Amino acid sequence: MGELYRRKLLPEKTLNTVFSSLLGMSEENYKVDDLVIEGAINLMNKVGQVFEDNAKKQAEEKKKDESIKNFNRIFNRFDELQNMPEETVISNRIKLLIKNMFTNKENKWQKTKDINESGPKTKKQVQREVEEKHLKE
């Protein structure tokens, strides 16, 4: 899904709906657990740079002030989840993953840029990695 959004094949509205569902912000899904939050973190780590850039660009052009509001709303929810009391269903591992995601954002998504720069792997690259793994074993 992240790659589809990055390549402009998935509309921002759909991405917002997915985040709302994963983070328990929608009427259909208001419960959260480690698994769905981790999915939201992984998705944000994949699309965060493009998502933030698009939201800021639209806000500057005054096309859609809603885009930056949605982006901020999602990050506010991540912040709420990270700061939940110890006795909640959110594990410390997930809280650490959220913290790492915020660090990535503060560093202008450098980790995301490094990962996304190469793009998806080709079939030959995957086969080569598998062969190298088998040789090592």
Examine the pLDDT at 118 and tell me if it is beyond 70: no
**C-alpha dihedral (115, 50, 74, 106), degrees to nearest 10:** 60
Res. 75 pLDDT band, cuts 50 70 90: very high
Res. 76 pLDDT band, cuts 50 70 90: very high
Res. 95 pLDDT band, cuts 50 70 90: very high
What pLDDT, on a 0 to 100 scale, did the predictor assign at position 63? 63
Domain parsing of the chain, residue ranges: 2-136
Share of the chain above pLDDT 70, in %: 93
What pLDDT, on a 0 to 100 scale, did the predictor assign at position 29? 66
Examine the pLDDT at 83 and tell me if it is beyond 70: yes
What span, in angstroms and rounded, lies between the C-alpha atoms of 51 and 6? Answer: 8
Query: Once rounded to an integer, what is the mean pLDDT over residues 69-87?
Result: 89
* Average pLDDT over all residues of the chain: 87
What span, in angstroms and rounded, lies between the C-alpha atoms of 78 and 46? Answer: 15
What pLDDT, on a 0 to 100 scale, did the predictor assign at position 37? 93
pLDDT in tens, 2-45: 888 888 889 999 999 999 999 988 776 677 889 999 999 999 99
Residue listed under structure tokens 């959220």: 98
